[in-house]
Amino acid sequence: MADKRKDAEVASPGIGAQVTGLGLGLILLGGLASAAFGQDTAAADETVIVSHGYSNFGTLKYGPDMAHLAYVNPEAPKGGEMSVWSPSVFDSFNPFTRKGVAEFTGASLIYEDILTGTADDPYSVYCYLCTTMEYPESRDWVIFNLRDDVTFSDGSPMTAEDIEFSFNLVMEQGIAEYRNAVGGYIDKVEVLDPHRIKFTFNPEAPRRDVIGVAGGTNAWSKTWFEETGTRLDESNPAPFLGTGPYVLKEVDMGRSVTYTRDTDWWGASHPMNVGRWNFDDIRIEVFADTAAAMEGFKAGEYTFRNENSSKEWATSYDFPAVQNGWVKVEELPDGSIGSAQGFVFNLRRDKWQDAGVRTAINMMLNFEWANRTLFYDLYERPVSFWQNTDMMATGTPSEGELALLRPLVEQGLLPESILTDEVVTAPVNDPESNQPDRRTRREALRLMNEAGWTAGSDGMLRDADGNTMELVILTVSPAFDRIVNPYVENLRAIGVDARMERVDNAQYVERRRTGDWDLTNHTLTQGYEPGTSLRQWFSSSTADDSSRNIMALRDPAIDSLVETTIAAETLDEMTTAAKTLDRVLRADRFWIPQWFKDVHTVAYWDMYRYPEPLPPLALGSLDFWWWDAEAAQRLKEAGAL
C-alpha cells in the first residue's frame, strides 16, 4: 500500500485574518482501506489526511503538541468574579430559537463545539472535542475522532451519539435561517463507534466550508433532552446541559444571572484552555436604562464596562473612583474588521424598493457633524462590510472583479454602470451644521421626485394617492435619542414624515421580527473568511425569516456573488469575490453606515489583569483576563467596594 506523504494546506471555516505559521503537524496517510474509515465515496488510493487542525489558507499556527495559546498567561490565577452589565431584559436561556429574549452570554460559557478557533490564527480551526480529524483530499467526508474524557457538567460522558443527536436536533428544530443556510452541506451523519463520528457532505456543497460546518456542531446531551422533553424551538427557563467551563449558579430572571466555574470541568487542563476561564463567577446585571447602568458601575454594582457611548467615554469617566485610581480607564487595540454598524431599510415595504429613495434618505445623515458635535471625534465612518481589510472594495472594479460582474450585467441583473463607476461611499457633509448643505438637499429631493414623491402645500412629500412618506426609526436605547433626533430633523426638512419610536427591549425584539419598522440599527458583522454565513446575512433564501437578513434583502445578483464567494477555493479567489460582493452590496444602498472605532474603550475596577499584548481579534475580558486577589483586597480595605 503506497504511503502518500506531502506538505499540505488544510482547511477551515473561517474566523478570519492573517496567519503566521508553525508546522502543520499533519500525518498524511495514503491508500487507507475503506473499511477502516467507513468511507464509501473516496477512491481506495485517495490520500486521507489526519490532522489536529484545518486551514484553507496558509499553515496552522499551533502544532499538535502546543502547551498553551500564545496570547494567554499560562500562570493566570483562578478566582474572583467578573461582573458586567447588559441592557437585555431576558426571559429565556435558549439562544437557538427566536422565541423569547435570550440571555446570550451563557452560550459561550456552557456549550462547546467539536472544533475551536483562536484569537490570533483566524483562518484556522483546531480539534477540541476531538483529538484528530480524518478527511480525503476531495473533502467528501470528515471523521472526527472524539476525546474519550469529555463529560457533561453532570459528569455523564459525551459520545458520538450525543454529537449526532445535537446535529439532528438543530436540523429539525433550529432557527430556519441556519437550516436553510447549511442544510445542503451535509448528506449524512454516522456514528462509527462511541468516539468516532462521520459527516458525509453533499457533492455540490462548496468544499471550503464543509469541515467547518460539521465542526461547528454543538455537544448536547441526548439523554438530558430526552428525559426533560426540552425543545430547541421553545423558550427555556434554564440552560441546556453542556460540556463548557461554566454552569448556571443563580438567576433573577430578567434582572441578573451568575455563572460559576465548573470545578469538575473535563477541559480544565486542555492546552486550548490553559490560562483561560479564570474567574470563579461571571455575573451579568441587567439595566434597562443606560444612565442607571453608568451609575451602577460608579457604585461598584458591577466592575467591568466595555463602553459603547462616545459621550459617556468623553464626559463620564472623571468620577472619584477614577481620580483616586480605584477604576482604570483604558483604550485597548482592536484588530478586528471595522464594524459595519448602520441603519438598514425594511425592504418588505414597497416605498423602500427604489434605490434612489434609499440614497436620498442616506444623504440626510450628517456623520461629520455628529462625530464632531456628539461623538467628540472618537469615530470613523465605515463604508464597507469588510472595513480596513483587503476585501474592501475601492475605486473602480479590478480585472478580477470585472470578470465576475460582466456576466451579471449581461443577464440584466446589474446596471452596466457598475463596470465603470467608483464604488459607493458614504456622503460627506459639513461638520459645522447638522443640516446637509443646499446642494445635497436638492439632490435628495430630485431623487425623491424621480421616484414619484412630490411636496404638497404643507411641504411634506406625498405619493400619487396623497400618502405622506412615513418613516419610523425603531430604537431601544435612550442614549440613541441624541443621535436619531437630529437625523429626523434633517429628514423632515426635505418633507419626509420621519419620527423615532423608542420601545422597550421585548417590543424591540418582536417588532424587528415582525417587520414593524422602516429603519432600525443593525451591525452586519463579517469575517476574514466569508463563507456559509453570507447566506444568513444577504441571501434571498433567508429573507423571509432571519435574525441577520432582517432587511429582507432579495437580489439575484447578490445571491450569485454570495455563492461565488462561498465556492472560492484560493485566498485570491475569495478576496476578489468578497470585494465584488462588497461593491454590489454597497451599490444596493439598503444600508446607511453609522460609525465605528478601532479600539476597545474599557473601564474596570482595578482588580483585573490581562495578558500583553492582547491578541488582535479578541478583547477576551471573560475569557483570558484574570482576577488579582491582592488588588481586590486593597480596594476592599480602602472601602472602594
For residue 100, CA distances in Å to 96, 237, 238 come to: 10, 10, 13
Query: Of the candidates 129, 127, 376, 100, which has an alpha carbon nearest to the alpha carbon of residue 238?
Result: 100
Q: CA-CA distance, 164 to 161, in Å (whole number)?
A: 5
Give a three-class secondary structure readout of 622-638.
CCCCEECHHHHHHHHHC
Rg for the chain, CA atoms, rounded:
26
341-593 topology per CATH? Dipeptide-binding Protein; domain 3 (3.10.105)
- Cα pseudo-dihedral 614, 617, 619, 625, rounded to 10: -60
Q: What is the value of pTM for the model shown?
A: 0.84
pLDDT recorded at residue 181: 66
Find how far residue 451's CA is from the centre of its chain: 35
CB half-sphere exposure, 484, CA atoms < 13 A = 21
Query: Which CATH code, of 3.40.190.10, 3.30.230.10, 3.40.50.720, 3.40.640.10, is assigned to 27-228?
Result: 3.40.190.10
pLDDT recorded at residue 591: 98
Find how far residue 305's CA is from the centre of its chain: 20
**Domain residue extents for the chain:** 27-228, 341-593
* 411 grid coordinates: 443577464
Q: CA-CA distance, 218 to 242, in Å (whole number)?
A: 9
pLDDT recorded at residue 122: 84
Q: How many CB atoms lie within 10 A of CB 131?
A: 16
pLDDT along the chain (641 residues), means of 10: 28 28 29 33 71 92 97 98 94 90 92 97 94 97 98 98 97 83 86 98 91 95 98 95 98 96 98 98 94 96 95 95 98 93 97 97 96 94 95 98 98 98 93 92 96 94 96 93 96 97 91 95 93 92 90 98 94 97 98 95 98 96 98 96 89
Give the single-character DSSP code of 609: E
Residue with cell 437630529: 486
Residue 468, phi then psi, degrees to nearest 5: -70, 155
3-class SS of residue 534: helix
3-class SS of residue 394: coil
Q: CA-CA distance, 269 to 326, in Å (whole number)?
A: 33
* 6 grid coordinates: 506531502
H or E segment at 117?
none
Residues 6+ apart with CB under 8 A from 112: 128, 129, 218, 219, 242, 243, 244, 267
